Amino acid sequence: MAGRFTGSFTQQEALPAEAVEAAVAVLQSGRLHRYNLAPGERGEVALLEAEYRDWQGSDYCLAVTSGGQAIQIALRASGVAEGDAVLTNAFTLAPVPGAIAAVGGRPVLVETDITLRPDLNDLADKITGSGAQYLLLSHMRGHLCDMERLMQICDAAGVTVIEDCAHTMGAKWNGIRSGNFGRVACFSTQTYKHINSGEGGFVTTRDAELAARATILSGSYMLYARHGAGPEQGAFAGARYDMPNCSARMDALRAAILRPQLARLEGNIRRWNALYRIVESGLAGHARIALIDRPGAESYVGSSIQFRLPGLAAGQCRAVLAAAGARGVELKWFGAGEPVGFTSSHESWHFMAAQALPGTDRIMATLFDMRLPLTFSRADCALIAGLIREAVSEVAP
Ligand SMILES: *Cc1c(COP(=O)(O)O)cnc(C)c1O
């Protein structure tokens, strides 16, 4: 065996010194709750909301406790009610159908195509077949679909689009930021996403009344005037009485550590993409390895990479996992029968009605996934790509 990678696939970078100082200042102030403000103080959460709104190029931004809470709040604020059908990708992570189930909705899964994007023909068929009026579009693993065509299909059918941008914070389609296509967008600031507060999330929208409903849902009590990027007070006229308080507010400590990270995000996107291109070109040209197409219209954030090993049987895929693991390379496989770590398939989501997705199953059966933390060097990435080639060749010469 040629080599072995000895680094960690789950080690994030330390937070910038500025974030540590801001955190200490919040701790010394004792004012950790977002509405606990000194006279004249705007507070870290309100400042972060305004900065994220401006960076995203939206009208309103609400900071919440997690990406999953952002999705639940966005679904309810969009009007999803008990028993409503909500379309979503079959290839996504458990918190996505989980959020639909949590608000009483009925997930209707859309097939995934060979580029890991939702199959837009199946989407059109399932809109007609299910009568669903909502699509929770998960830009899973950062792969943006043809957003113009998707919006055409949904607009023509009167389907409200809620974007799950947990993997596309900073990505663009034809120059437009992911999250600015649908009626409302959800982001995560959980440790493994693009900015890190442990847990956290955002809801962004251009719809003032939706923003007001989301704000009341997040648990603002009647203190919504203290928000940093919320709508005019008039927009709250209905929401203040109609929306239940779900207590999902972001706190000052998390906001304080996110602000310096947001300021560094563009630079970090360039760093991620440099690592991604090294792994991608290192895997290219291997007869067994199929890379995932990246359309020219897409500006992605390469914080993870996926590839397929078409033609390999389940036993061989398992052997590739083991051979890569023996070389210190931690791959995830979406074809496993049982959910492992963060990875699962629609067949293990027993909280919803089982659905037949033969196209998605065929793709996930040989689909592999790997994280690219910014603690990897360029040399690490070149080594890892070589080790993956070796592992695949060992199993399937
Ligand atoms: C992480 C993730 C979420 C949920 O975000 P949390 O902040 O962990 O709740 C939603 N969708 C996708 C695709 C994710 O990867």
The CATH number linked to 222 is 3.40.640.10
Domain total of the chain: 2
Nearest CA to ligand 1 atom 7: 67
Alpha carbons 188 and 82: distance in angstroms, whole number: 25
Q: What pLDDT is recorded for position 344?
A: 86
Of ligand 1's atoms, which has the minimum distance to the CA of residue 139?
A: 13
Pocket-testing residue among 164, 168, 169, ligand 1, by greatest number of atoms within 8 A of Cβ = 164
The response to whether residue 67 sits with its C-beta less than 6 Å from ligand 1 reads yes
Alpha carbons 111 and 62: distance in angstroms, whole number: 31
Q: Are 307 and 376 contained in the same domain?
A: yes
Domain coverage including residue 328: 265-395
| pLDDT single digits (tens) 29-44 | 999 999 999 999 999 9
| pLDDT single digits (tens) 41-81 | 999 999 999 999 999 999 999 999 999 999 999 999 999 99
Whether 4 is in a domain gets the answer: no
Q: What pLDDT is recorded for position 337?
A: 86
The response to whether residue 95 sits with its C-beta less than 6 Å from ligand 1 reads yes
The CATH number linked to 340 is 3.90.1150.10
Q: What are phi and psi of 332, to 5 degrees?
A: -110, 145
Q: What pLDDT is recorded for position 92?
A: 96
Q: Are 137 and 114 contained in the same domain?
A: yes
Mean of pLDDT values over 2-13: 92
pLDDT of residue 2 exceeding 80, the answer is: no
Q: Are 229 and 278 contained in the same domain?
A: no
pLDDT of residue 269 exceeding 60, the answer is: yes
Higher pLDDT, 20 or 338: 20
pLDDT of residue 279 exceeding 90, the answer is: yes
Q: What pLDDT is recorded for position 3?
A: 85
- Give the residue from 213, 232, 259 where a domain finishes: 259
Whether 1 is in a domain gets the answer: no
Q: Are 59 and 32 contained in the same domain?
A: yes
- Give the residue from 204, 238, 259 where a domain finishes: 259
- HEC states along 236-252? HCCHHHHCCCCCCECCH
Whether 9 is in a domain gets the answer: no
Whether 326 is in a domain gets the answer: yes
Q: What pLDDT is recorded for position 369?
A: 97
Burial, 397: exposed, middle or buried (Cβ in 10 Å; 0-12, 13-18, 19+)? exposed
Q: What pLDDT is recorded for position 262?
A: 98
What element of type H or E holds 383? helix 378-395
Q: Are 349 and 326 contained in the same domain?
A: yes
Mean of pLDDT values over 353-378: 97
The response to whether residue 138 sits with its C-beta less than 6 Å from ligand 1 reads yes
Q: Identify whether the C-beta of residue 67 lies closer than 8 Å to the C-beta of residue 196.
A: no
Least confident of 130-144, 223-237, 338-352: 338-352
Whether 345 is in a domain gets the answer: yes
For ligand 1, the distance from its centroid to the CA atom of residue 330, given in whole angstroms, is 20
For ligand 1, the distance from its centroid to the CA atom of residue 280, given in whole angstroms, is 24
Nearest CA to ligand 1 atom 5: 67
Whether 385 is in a domain gets the answer: yes
Mean of pLDDT values over 141-148: 98
